[in-house]
Structure 1
Amino acid sequence: MSDESPNVTYSPEDEQQNDEEIENNSSADSPFKEPICMKLALDDHIKAFKENTYLEREFEALQCSSELIDKVISNYIIVKQILSNLRWQEKILCKQVCTTWNSAVHALSREQLGPVDFMMNLRSTSLTWAVLKRSGNFYNEPMVVMTFVNGSGLDMTSQCKLIEPSPCAIPCLYDHSLLDSVQKYTSAPKDCMNMIRSDYLSYWPTPSSVTYEHAIANLKVNPYMVGLFIPVIPDVEYHAINIKSMGNMQQEFYDVVKNISKDRIFKGIIVYVTDKYLLHSVEDIIFLNYIKDLQPDIPYAIGGCIIEDTIFEPSDINGLIEGINAYRDFFSENLISLGMFTVPKSPQKNEYNFNMYSLVLDSSHWAKPKIQQAINEFSCRVPQFEYSAALKLSCVGRDQKHQWEQDCFRAAFPNTTIVGCNGNGELGVDHPPRPDEPSPQSSAKRHCGDSGPQFGIVYSYSTIFIYMGWGKILSNRPA
Structure 2
Amino acid sequence: MDLVLTETSLNVMYFGEEEDFNNNEDEEDSAIGDTEKCEKLNYNENIVAFVEKRELTRNIKPLVCSNILLEKITSNYIIVKQIISNLSWQDKAMCKLVCNNWYSAVQTLQKEQISPEDFVIDLCYSLRRGGEKGWFKKSGIFYTEPLVIFTFANTAGFSAVRKCKVIQPRPCKQHCDQEHCLINLINCHVNAPKNCMLTVKATYLVYRPRPHSNTYGHSIAHYTIYTWTNPLIAGIFIPKIPDVSFQVLNIRSQNSLQQEFYDVVDKLSKEHIIKGVLVFFTEKYLLDSVEDIVFLNYFKDVQPNVPYALGGCIVEDTMSENSDINLLVDSLNKGADFISENLLSIGLFTIPKKSNNNEYNFEMYSFIIESSDWTKPDIQQLVTEFSKKVPRFEHSIALKFSCVDRDKKHVLEQDCFRAAFPNTTIVGCYGNGGLGIHHPAIPEPEATALRHRRESFYSIPRQFGIMYFNSTVFVYIGWGKIISPQGPL
Of the three residues 326, 333, 336, the one matched with 1:318 is 326
The aligned residue for residue 23 of structure 1 is: none
1:475 aligns with 2:484: yes
Supply the AA of the counterpart residue of 1:189. Answer: P
The aligned residue for residue 141 of structure 2 is: 137
> For structure 1, which segment, 155-164 or 30-39, has the greater mean C-alpha deviation from structure 2 after superposition?
30-39
Other structure's SS at 2:157 match: helix
Of the three residues 407, 428, 432, the one matched with 1:399 is 407
> For structure 1, which segment, 227-236 or 205-214, has the greater mean C-alpha deviation from structure 2 after superposition?
205-214
The aligned residue for residue 154 of structure 1 is: 158
Equivalent-residue separation in structure 2 for 1:127 and 1:84 (angstroms): 35
Of the three residues 187, 201, 204, the one matched with 2:205 is 201
The aligned residue for residue 4 of structure 2 is: none
Q: CA deviation at 1:350?
A: 2.1
The aligned residue for residue 429 of structure 2 is: 421
Of the three residues 244, 247, 253, the one matched with 1:245 is 253
* Alignment check: 8 A CA contact 1:121 1:132 kept: yes
* Alignment check: 8 A CA contact 1:267 1:301 kept: yes
Equivalent-residue separation in structure 1 for 2:163 and 2:329 (angstroms): 14
Give the direction of change, closer, same or farther, for the CA distance of 1:28–1:429 in structure 2 (3 Å limit): closer
Other structure's SS at 2:248 match: strand
Q: CA deviation at 1:52?
A: 1.6
* Alignment check: 8 A CA contact 1:357 1:467 kept: yes
* Alignment check: 8 A CA contact 1:151 1:197 kept: yes
User: Once the two structures are superposed, what CA deviation does each residue of 1:215-244 show, in whole Å capped at 9, x if it has no partner?
Assistant: 111222322110010000000000101011
Give the direction of change, closer, same or farther, for the CA distance of 1:169–1:128 in structure 2 (3 Å limit): farther
The aligned residue for residue 281 of structure 2 is: 273
Give the direction of change, closer, same or farther, for the CA distance of 1:63–1:128 in structure 2 (3 Å limit): farther
* Alignment check: 8 A CA contact 2:25 2:131 kept: no
Other structure's SS at 1:262 match: helix
RMSD: 2.3
* Alignment check: 8 A CA contact 2:23 2:130 kept: no
Equivalent-residue separation in structure 1 for 2:185 and 2:328 (angstroms): 13
> For structure 1, which segment, 431-440 or 323-332, has the greater mean C-alpha deviation from structure 2 after superposition?
431-440
* Alignment check: 8 A CA contact 2:208 2:216 kept: yes
> For structure 1, which segment, 50-59 or 351-360, has the greater mean C-alpha deviation from structure 2 after superposition?
50-59
User: Once the two structures are superposed, what CA deviation does each residue of 1:153-176 show, in whole Å capped at 9, x if it has no partner?
Assistant: 111111222211112222222211
User: In the TM superposition, what are the counterparts of 1:27-426 in structure 2 within 5 Å?
Assistant: 29-122=30-123, 123=126, 129-219=133-223, 220-278=228-286, 281-327=289-335, 329-426=337-434
User: Once the two structures are superposed, what CA deviation does each residue of 1:15-55 show, in whole Å capped at 9, x if it has no partner?
Assistant: xxxxxxxxxxxx99431423411111211221121122333
The TM-score with structure 2 as length reference comes to 0.89
> For structure 1, which segment, 372-381 or 284-293, has the greater mean C-alpha deviation from structure 2 after superposition?
284-293
User: Once the two structures are superposed, what CA deviation does each residue of 1:429-475 show, in whole Å capped at 9, x if it has no partner?
Assistant: 00011146456972343144334634211110000000000001111
Give the direction of change, closer, same or farther, for the CA distance of 1:47–1:127 in structure 2 (3 Å limit): farther
> For structure 1, which segment, 32-41 or 294-303, has the greater mean C-alpha deviation from structure 2 after superposition?
32-41
User: Once the two structures are superposed, what CA deviation does each residue of 1:48-83 show, in whole Å capped at 9, x if it has no partner?
Assistant: 211223333212111110222012211111111111
The aligned residue for residue 464 of structure 1 is: 473
Of the three residues 434, 440, 454, the one matched with 1:432 is 440
* Alignment check: 8 A CA contact 1:6 1:32 kept: no
Equivalent-residue separation in structure 2 for 1:279 and 1:207 (angstroms): 40
Equivalent-residue separation in structure 1 for 2:239 and 2:191 (angstroms): 10
Q: CA deviation at 1:399?
A: 1.0
Give the direction of change, closer, same or farther, for the CA distance of 1:461–1:67 in structure 2 (3 Å limit): same
The TM-score with structure 1 as length reference comes to 0.91
> For structure 1, which segment, 151-160 or 374-383, has the greater mean C-alpha deviation from structure 2 after superposition?
151-160
Give the direction of change, closer, same or farther, for the CA distance of 1:177–1:438 in structure 2 (3 Å limit): farther
Give the direction of change, closer, same or farther, for the CA distance of 1:278–1:94 in structure 2 (3 Å limit): same
* Alignment check: 8 A CA contact 1:301 1:357 kept: yes
* Alignment check: 8 A CA contact 2:148 2:246 kept: yes
The count of residues paired between Structure 1 and Structure 2 equals: 460
Supply the AA of the counterpart residue of 1:362. Answer: E
Supply the AA of the counterpart residue of 1:420. Answer: G
Equivalent-residue separation in structure 1 for 2:24 and 2:261 (angstroms): 39
> For structure 1, which segment, 47-56 or 397-406, has the greater mean C-alpha deviation from structure 2 after superposition?
47-56
* Alignment check: 8 A CA contact 2:152 2:234 kept: yes
Give the direction of change, closer, same or farther, for the CA distance of 1:438–1:80 in structure 2 (3 Å limit): farther
Unmatched 5+ stretches in structure 1: 8-26
Supply the AA of the counterpart residue of 2:230. Answer: N
* Alignment check: 8 A CA contact 1:142 1:192 kept: yes
Give the direction of change, closer, same or farther, for the CA distance of 1:266–1:318 in structure 2 (3 Å limit): same
Give the direction of change, closer, same or farther, for the CA distance of 1:206–1:172 in structure 2 (3 Å limit): same
Supply the AA of the counterpart residue of 2:141. Answer: N
Percent of aligned pairs with the same amino acid? 50
The aligned residue for residue 442 of structure 1 is: 450
* Alignment check: 8 A CA contact 2:35 2:177 kept: no
Give the direction of change, closer, same or farther, for the CA distance of 1:444–1:137 in structure 2 (3 Å limit): farther
User: Once the two structures are superposed, what CA deviation does each residue of 1:384-420 show, in whole Å capped at 9, x if it has no partner?
Assistant: 1000000000000001000000000000111100000
